[in-house]
Each structure stands twice: as structure tokens, then as C-alpha cells.
Amino acid sequence: MADHLGRGLSADGTVRGLAAVTTDLVEEARRRHGTLPTATAALGRGLTAALLLGGLLKTGERLSLEVSGDGPLGCLLADASPDGGVRGFVSRPRTDLPPRRGKLDVGGAVGRGILCVMRVPAAPGPPYRSIVPLVSGEIGADVARYLVDSEQTPSVVGVGVWVEPDGRVGAAGGYLVQAMPGASDGAIDRLEANIAAAPTPSELVREGLDASAMLGRLMQGLAPRDLERRPVAYRCRCSRERALGACIAMGRDELERVLTSDRRAEVVCEFCGSRYEFLEDELRAILEGKSPGSGA
């Protein structure tokens, strides 16, 4: 089943849900970054959570999610664009911990710290940042806490990654369900019971459920209807032009030093691993094209 994100709404319009199947894009992230199982699960949960939160954005907005903990994983960054593209990385992709209660120990890898969610508006203007302390470092509960704190909307977020014994991603996905103002106690009770009874997100995906079927299960009894389904994929926004910009940002002194020692410069995109190489001629042209004194 191709990766996708779906949105649904209860018949009375007071409960909304998003669900995603992200197996292929999490596997692509694993291959690009060479992550080991615990890091794969952490990164996959972060990418899936960014896509789910991205599904709540207005047209043209972008969103980035940053988890900074004191655990061995270091920092996790994931960002999602409205076209269904997502990308991300972790500081230490080779992080792998012994399982805890039979599950990959993402909370142990992340540790204690903060979650920062940044929304970049479509129109020029400053981004909107929210920072909350991590609840568990397991990502899902942390993102739910962010939604409750920043939007005062009771939310449940589940994200999960199933890693096969050979290290590849067998299944990944997640859901986000919110009770909007006006939701009845009965609807909320029903939702809580459904979620308590539901298997983990990665089990739902392993069972072969798509986003619509996941929401059907989680919002059972609330007569959910599908609003939208869109493809999602691992997609980076880097380019040779942006990499050149990074070279220029090094400044004149650093560029001179690179030219003297290596005679070339290489910029590696930390999101996707793409390498951009600039040879001496190009770098000389940058240096000569720069206005006097800049970067010096």
C-alpha cells in the first residue's frame, strides 16, 4: 500500500481524525541515514507525527518538529510541507538500545527534554513556535501534550514503527484524533474506549488497514466520513543553489582556507544525505563576485 494521509470527521462534526501509513518513507529515511532499529523507530515516529501535524495546517504553511532530549539519540528534527513531503534526521543515527518491555526503547533513546513545534506561515512573517516539556520521549504522547497545551484541544496521538529482524521497516504509521469544542461526553467516552481497545499504530498498518479503515476503527460509533486522502513521501527541499548559498555563508576566510587546503568544497544535506561538490573555479568565482569586505 502506497504511503498516504487521510482525514476524517465524525457525523456531528465534533471529532476529527487524521491517520497515515508511512512505511515506505520511513524505510527510505532509514536507508538514507543508515539508522539502527531504535533510531529508526524514533525517526519514523517523528516523521509520521510531523505529517499528522502538517495535516492540520492551512494551505502553504510548513511545520517542523524538533525533539531535544538528554538521551543517546541527541536531537530529532522532522519537517513537513503541505504537499505531503516530509524529511528529517537524528543526531546519532547509530543509536540502538536493548528493547524495553518487548518494544523499541524510543523514550530511553530520547531521554528527558523538550519538544519544539514551529509553524512557518505561508505569508512572509515570523514563524510561530511552541515549546513543551517531553512527557515520555515516546513522541506520540509528547505531540498530544503539545496539542493540548497549544490549542487546548483534547488530542490523542499514536505513532509507531515496526522494525523487522533484519533492520528494515516492516510497517509504520500513526493517527491523531481530536475532540473539538461541542463534543458530547458520550462521544468522548466512545473515543476513549475505541482508542484503549485499538492495537498499536504499527499493528494497525501490519493488519493492512489504510488511513480510512484506521479512522473507521478509532472513530467507531461516531459515523466518521472521509474528507480527504493524499499521498505522502520522503522529500527534501535541498538543491545545488541552496548548497551554494551555504558555501557563501561560510564567509571569505573560510572559503580561502578551503581553497588552499582541499581546492574544492562539499556540502552534505543533513536531511537527505545528498552531496553537492563545488570545484575551485566555482569557489573562485564566488570569492571574486563577493563585495569587498563581506564575510571577512
- Assess 238 for contact with Zn ion (CB under 5 A): yes
User: Judged by CB under 5 A, does residue 234 bind Zn ion?
Assistant: no
Question: 91 vs 153, which CB is nearer to Zn ion?
Answer: 91
**Contact with Zn ion (CB under 5 A) among 236, 244, 248, 287:** 236
Residues 6+ apart with CB under 8 A from 245: none
Question: Residue 143's closest CA among 202, 210, 76?
Answer: 76
CB nearer to Zn ion: give 65 or 205: 65
Of 162 and 234, nearer to Zn ion (C-beta) is 234
User: In angstroms, rounded to a whole number, what is the distance separating the alpha carbons of residues 110 and 95?
Assistant: 10
Give dist(CA 255, CA 107) in Å, integer.
41
Nearest approach, Cβ of residue 29 and Zn ion (Å): 12
Q: Given the complex with Zn ion, which of 36 and 238 has the nearer CB atom?
A: 238
Does residue 77 touch Zn ion according to CB under 5 A? no
Q: Enumerate residues 142-161 that contact Zn ion by CB under 5 A.
A: none
Out of 9, 272, 283, 286, which residue is the one contacting Zn ion (CB under 5 A)?
272
- Contact partners, residue 97, CB within 8 Å, separation at least 6: 38, 72, 104, 105, 108, 109
> At a CB cut-off of 8 Å and minimum separation 6, what does 163 contact?
37, 40, 41, 104, 169, 170
Q: Which amino acid type is present at position 279?
A: L
Spatial contact of 4 and 211, defined as CB atoms under 8 Å apart: yes
Q: Which of 269, 276, 283, 286 binds Zn ion (CB under 5 A)?
A: 269
| Residue 199 CB-density burial (10 A; 0-12 exposed, 13-18 middle, 19+ buried) | middle
Only one of the segments 5-13, 149-157, 241-249, 263-271 lies at the binding site for Zn ion (rule: CB under 5 A); that segment is 263-271
As measured in angstroms, the least distance from the Cβ of 62 to Zn ion is 15
Of 146, 175, 234, 271, the residue at the interface with Zn ion (CB under 5 A) is 271
User: CB–CB of 5/229 below 8 Å?
Assistant: yes
Least distance CB 243 / Zn ion (angstroms): 9
Q: Based on the number of CB atoms within 10 Å of its own CB, is 39 exposed (0-12), middle (13-18) or buried (19 or more)?
A: buried
Q: How far apart are CB 50 and Zn ion at their closest, in Å?
A: 15
Indicate the residue among 32 and 45 with the shorter CB distance to Zn ion: 32
Q: Does 267 bind Zn ion (CB under 5 A)?
A: no
Residues that bind Zn ion (CB under 5 A): 236, 238, 269, 271-272, 274
